[in-house]
Structure 1
Amino acid sequence: MLNLTLTKSKHFCRRIIGQALIAGMCISSSLVTLHANAEELGYPEKEELKFGFIKLTDMAPIAIAYEKGFFEDEGLYVTIEAQANWKVLLDGVIDGRLDGAHMLAGQPIAATIGYGTKAEIITPFSMDLNGNGITVSNEIWQQMKVNIPKRPDGKPVHPIKADALKPVVEKYSASGKPFNMGMVFPVSTHNYELRYWLAAGGIHPGFYAPHKGDTSGQIDAQALLSVTPPPQMPATLEAGTIYGYCVGEPWNQQAVFKGIGVPVVTDYEIWKDNPEKVFGITKAFSEKYPNTTIRLTRALIRAAKWLDENNNANRPEAVKILSQSNYVGADYDVIANSMTGTFEYEKGDKRDVPDFNVFFRYNATYPYYSDAIWYLTQMRRWGQISEDKPDTWYKEVANKVYRPDIYMKAAQSLVDEKLMAASDFAELANEDGFRNPQTHFIDNIVYDGTKPNEYINKFSIGLKAGDKI
């Protein structure tokens, strides 16, 4: 097992070598000129860093940046530490125990607006697209199957909509049994994806009412959603505490391998190429250590490129790294089941999903304002934001949290140093931070990040303009 904490002597040697290399760059007058303000990319103000993560495959850019020496190329000497849950991770970044972390995309946004914990967290780097799934127990799957059309070979037609689950939920409700499901955190993509999928099938996932002190998210709910840490999802399902869950990999495929559940839909099918995790740091860190911030962003961009290049040719090596106990710690075959371009639904029903995990292509690493605004629309839709906000408010919050300016400085410096090609970022040359209206949702509702209130009002289930719990 790899020890991620460098020994003092080894660390010292690497640090001296790193400083010598940077000094050599100075002597040769090859310091990088930044595109935005023509300043030199200087020494990292803070060299020794500790980053946190949760045991999920989408923490891969951090692991690869470490293992491939991309952090050390930047003069950064990093310790990587798994965290018990998302709250512990967020608190660690806020109190300075961690310098940065693999975060749920909703965490920096929620912290900035003061939902749950109040803190100024930013992200200069989006870690991936897609990567989640919704799994149900074998018992629930057998009840759902009768409601799902079949292909000529007898396998279910995908994507499977929550319409197939609705009669099951109604039966449980009629018998007085609550229909319990798990998600990983109240402001997680998983919570919003599960809610989105359920609501699109006519199942109400419940409202929050923080202004009344109710943060359960179960007001008026037909399916009751509660928090379970990702690695505990399969065991909680097996125990019968929940009937299904939404989680990232490898914990959907783990249910298949253990024979305890069936993934019914991926988030790629709920919202094609949806943003998933981000790398979060405090605003104070970015302002105190601006060079360090750009350098860690550079390392993560290079890692993401490595993960996707040559049609995912590096994925088997990445899976081997992630299977180590100090990273994700699941079996190689379990991680590879989704990480290498396939996804197994019902046992034996493995299908090609080449974009199940995307780390660099489709501008995956660029922190789009419109991605942040989508999360805010879902917070408002389900009551985590209690009152109406004008469109300008959504844009202002996104501008505070998502920092494409930092990202583009890092990207341009990589191009200037010829560590990456200009073509790697060609589509970002005139980027304004808003994706074109997105159409690939399971309910066919179009999302335009420049019109958040108009978007919120399109849904049949959820709060609309003027509504309050």
Structure 2
Amino acid sequence: MQVSLIKRTWNSLTKASKKRAALASVAALSIATMFVPQATAEELGYPEKEELKFGFIKLTDMAPIAIAYEKGYFEDEGLYVTIEAQANWKVLLNGVIDGSLDGAHMLAGQPLAATMGFGTKAHIITPFSMDLNGNGITVSNEIWKQMKPNIPKMADGRPVHPIKADYLKPVVEKYASEGKPFNMGMVFPVSTHNYELRYWLAAGGIHPGYYAPHKGDVSGQIDAEALLSVTPPPQMPATLEAGTIYGYCVGEPWNQQAVFKGIGVPVITDYEIWKDNPEKVFGITAEFAEKYPNTTIRLTRALIRAAIWLDENNNANRPEAVKILSQSNYVGADYDVIANSMTGTFEYEKGDKRDVPDFNVFFRYNATYPYYSDAIWYLTQMRRWGQIADDKSDDWYFDMAKKVYRPDIYAQAAKSLIKEKLVDPAGFPDFATETGFKPEQKEFIDGVSYDGTKPNAYIDSFKIGLKTGDKI
């Protein structure tokens, strides 16, 4: 029976009849399997919770959730989902913790920080990594004007990329000599944006400051040469225009919005800071996963299918995705602003649009697999900047990663999709041999390589940042 027919038949049932089918005797279950593929009904089981509410922040990388909804992938799994934008990352996290949200588009650092007790304490897990890349660092027109003379030019006069923070350093030093703080924005203390901005600044010799939570200082500005503070993503362009900050790191479409408004210049993408870096995750509580295991696998299946749709046929579906995301109930930015980065290009200085086909990656390169080594990278940056106050053993990093990142759930979801021939197995890791650790990664802007199996050695390799034995 075709999946589309199954979907129509299943959706025609009332909520009560679906529950009766799920809880009926063996005889009734044999009838119910007419409406759902045999392997799905018998091996996965019906969703224990059908009606779900998911949260997100208005960024283009929430796309897998929107597509899973719009394309009916959630409904294919018997899930009836409501999707709701949240005011900021703290409100979103609290919603997942208190149960007003069943799951959410999250910063990769949020489940890790919550589970180890940095900020709000709660055991949050992720069975699904939402994307690779997708962020940029933008500076105001005035800062760009001061940076530009320091940057090498190509034959056509355009700046050579990637643009390192080395070219920002003289500007920061000038402000310091004039007694002016150099303020920059990022979206949340445990966001990828915070760690990417810090990484870029430190690689250029600019100290982004330390945290000292054990002393009650969570500003992250101890010893800082550039002062980083939190601004919600949609407010970034307006805050830059007001002069409150001189630059920021954020996801799309809020870098391209600065270009369209003529108020700033994106100087670098996170792809250029760390090629194919992990970005957001889908977060749920450990309690939810334990209470509703079938629901958890099914929502992961829907998200996997959405990610495949977003990347398939060399991004052929991206224009349709952009149209969906431009709706006010999703990202709500103009179609052209979202398309500027999501369809394979990125505009830096006004008129300087360049091909960046992997600016947004949702499925290629095993983007959806929750790698332990990705989790450990975030933990190393938390330690580097003092959010983890004390030294931890390598085993501590491994154990924390395994508490939060759940490739076992992902593998169950992916294998069931493969068995039903809904997806191509070639797009997934070899589950029989996968360890959860990527090979050593070398494509960072500072030339430092990362091996997730050696977290403390990695932390000690940086010129700027806390090292073994250091404490603020």
Q: TM-score, normalised by structure 2?
A: 0.94
Distance 1:396 1:89 in 2: 26
Which of the residues 298, 302, 318 maps onto 1:299? 302
CA shift digits 1:18-73 (9 cap, x unpaired): 77998656259953279xxxx82100000000000000000000000000000000
Residues 251, 21 of structure 1: alpha-carbon distance in 2 compared, 3 angstrom cutoff: farther
Give the corresponding residue for 2:152. Answer: 149
Give the corresponding residue for 2:51. Answer: 48
Give the corresponding residue for 1:26. Answer: 33
Q: Does 1:96 align with 2:69?
A: no
Residue 424 of structure 1, CA deviation: 2.1
Residue 430 of structure 1, CA deviation: 1.5
Which of the residues 307, 311, 314 maps onto 1:308? 311
Distance 1:25 1:248 in 2: 44
Native 8 Å contact 1:11 1:77 kept in 2: no
Which amino acid letter does the alignment assign opposite residue 343 of structure 2?
A: T
Give the corresponding residue for 1:60. Answer: 63
Give the corresponding residue for 1:241. Answer: 244
Distance 1:15 1:348 in 2: 53
Which amino acid letter does the alignment assign opposite residue 328 of structure 2?
A: S
Native 8 Å contact 2:58 2:330 kept in 1: yes
| 3-state SS of 1:461 partner | coil
Distance 2:170 2:83 in 1: 45
Give the corresponding residue for 1:216. Answer: 219
Give the corresponding residue for 1:407. Answer: 410
Distance 1:452 1:436 in 2: 14
Distance 1:116 1:204 in 2: 24
Which of the residues 440, 443, 461 maps onto 2:443? 440
Which amino acid letter does the alignment assign opposite residue 217 of structure 1?
A: G
What does residue range 345-356 of structure 1 map to in structure 2 within 5 Å?
A: 345-356=348-359
4+ residue runs of structure 1 moved beyond 3 angstroms?
Answer: 10-25, 27-31, 426-429
Which amino acid letter does the alignment assign opposite residue 33 of structure 2?
A: C
Residues 332, 14 of structure 1: alpha-carbon distance in 2 compared, 3 angstrom cutoff: farther
Distance 1:398 1:95 in 2: 23
Identity, in percent, stands at 82
Native 8 Å contact 1:33 1:416 kept in 2: no
Residue 12 of structure 1, CA deviation: 8.1
Give the corresponding residue for 2:384. Answer: 381
What does residue range 193-342 of structure 1 map to in structure 2 within 5 Å?
A: 193-342=196-345
Which amino acid letter does the alignment assign opposite residue 38 of structure 2?
A: L
Residues 29, 219 of structure 1: alpha-carbon distance in 2 compared, 3 angstrom cutoff: closer
Give the corresponding residue for 1:4. Answer: none
Q: Does 1:116 align with 2:119?
A: yes
Give the corresponding residue for 2:7. Answer: none
Distance 2:427 2:39 in 1: 18
Q: CA RMSD in A?
A: 1.8
Q: TM-score, normalised by structure 1?
A: 0.94
Native 8 Å contact 2:366 2:429 kept in 1: no
Q: Does 1:397 align with 2:400?
A: yes
Residues 218, 315 of structure 1: alpha-carbon distance in 2 compared, 3 angstrom cutoff: same
Give the corresponding residue for 2:174. Answer: 171
Number of residue pairs matched?
A: 456
CA shift digits 1:143-166 (9 cap, x unpaired): 000110000000000000000000
Which amino acid letter does the alignment assign opposite residue 366 of structure 2?
A: N
Name structure 1 gaps, 5 residues minimum.
1-9
Native 8 Å contact 1:18 1:73 kept in 2: no
Name structure 2 gaps, 5 residues minimum.
1-9, 23-28
Native 8 Å contact 1:172 1:179 kept in 2: yes
Native 8 Å contact 2:183 2:247 kept in 1: yes
Distance 1:269 1:296 in 2: 32
Question: Which sits farther off after the overlay, 429-438 or 56-65?
Answer: 429-438
Which of the residues 184, 190, 194 maps onto 1:181? 184
Which of the residues 395, 417, 422 maps onto 2:425? 422
Q: Does 1:465 align with 2:468?
A: yes
Give the corresponding residue for 1:6. Answer: none
Give the corresponding residue for 1:7. Answer: none
Native 8 Å contact 2:256 2:347 kept in 1: yes
Distance 1:294 1:339 in 2: 28
